[in-house]
Amino acid sequence: MVRHTAYEPGTPSWADVTSPDPDAARAFYGALFGWTGEPATEPEARGYTVMMLGDAAVAGLAPTFGEMPALWSAYVTVADVDGAVAAAADAGGQVLMGAMDVLDAGRMAVIADPSGAALSLWQPGYHIGAEVRMEPNALCWVELNTRQPDVAVSFFNTLFGWQANRVGGPVEEGGPGFDYLMLQSGDTPVGGIITMDEHWPAEVPPHWMVYFAVGDCDAAAARVTELGGEVCVPPTDIPPGRFAVVDDPAGATFTIIALNPEMFG
């Protein structure tokens, strides 16, 4: 595994999931991805678990409180979280949770872009984020699903300097198209944008989707069902690989993808 020791500002670096039953969630993700982890013992950590793949931190797990839903959240590394929060507000975003210290692990905040999708910001202390990425059973991609892509593109260009480039397009007659906005920091792809059109249910809000790489998408999707989760979008081929959208048993949605070796080596 290639180990990460730092992330450049403006790079997605972490993801965590909230669950009303953290023990069940640990069991589910342990059986699906081989993750292990025990909740932090400090009272201030409120039961947060850093999930490990071997000896590498790969994702987080937190209990829900009150009316919080079960969901996955994406984090982007910033050099100065307080400055990024102010910049987000100035650019028309919302501050959902102001900057706060997370023990000595780092400093975080939660914002929403003007289209309404929540995104967490992370200023690292000793915790840099995912120590492994782009490997089976680890985070490999983040993607904004929004009904206002142009608004989001402008906002994130101001906030992070991200550029958006359209990729794909129509394929052979009778086949599906692949039309996608790739977000880049310089020459480095950092995420994507999908436009939520009329085919999306009106009650589904704008959101960030997190992707985890797997060796075999069909086998992983079947395993999700065996473990009490649900397959929302069955295994489907797209240029980057074969993917499926799934829910864990508590309803937190994420995507699994067997990456195309021709694109990702």
Q: Which pLDDT tens digit goes with each residue over 115-150?
A: 999 999 999 999 999 999 999 999 999 999 999 999
Instruction: Write down the pTM of the prediction.
Output: 0.94
Whole-angstrom Cα distance, residue 197 to residue 124? 36
Residue with tokens 């074969």: 242
Distances (CA, A) of 157 to 94, 144, 152: 16, 14, 8
Q: What is the CA radius of gyration of the chain?
A: 18
- Residue 118's pLDDT is what? 98
CB 1 within 8 A of CB 44: no
- Residue 24 DSSP class: H
The strands making up 241-247's β-sheet, listed across from edge to edge, are 163-169, 178-185, 188-195, 139-146, 207-213, 253-259, 241-247, 230-238
**H/E run at residue 28:** helix 22-33
CB 236 within 8 A of CB 244: yes
Whole-angstrom Cα distance, residue 205 to residue 223? 27
Instruction: Kindly give, in sequence order, each residue whose CB lies less than 8 Å from that of residue 123, ignoring residues fewer than 6 positions away.
Output: 77, 78, 79, 80, 81, 106, 107, 108
Greatest Cα pair distance, the chain, in angstroms, is: 59
C-alpha 242: how far from chain center: 18
CB 73 within 8 A of CB 118: yes
- Residue 54's pLDDT is what? 96
- Residue 264's pLDDT is what? 77
- Residue 45 DSSP class: G
What value, to the nearest 5°, has the Cα angle with vertex 238 and ends 235 and 244? Answer: 25
Residue with tokens 């982007």: 76
In this structure, are strands 56-63 and 12-19 parallel, antiparallel, or unpaired? Answer: parallel
Whole-angstrom Cα distance, residue 147 to residue 238? 22
CB 51 within 8 A of CB 35: yes
- Residue 176's pLDDT is what? 42
Strand partners, 56: 53
- Residue 250's pLDDT is what? 97
Over the chain (265 residues), the average pLDDT of each successive run of 10 is 87 97 97 93 81 97 88 98 98 97 95 97 97 96 96 97 80 48 93 92 95 98 98 94 97 97 76
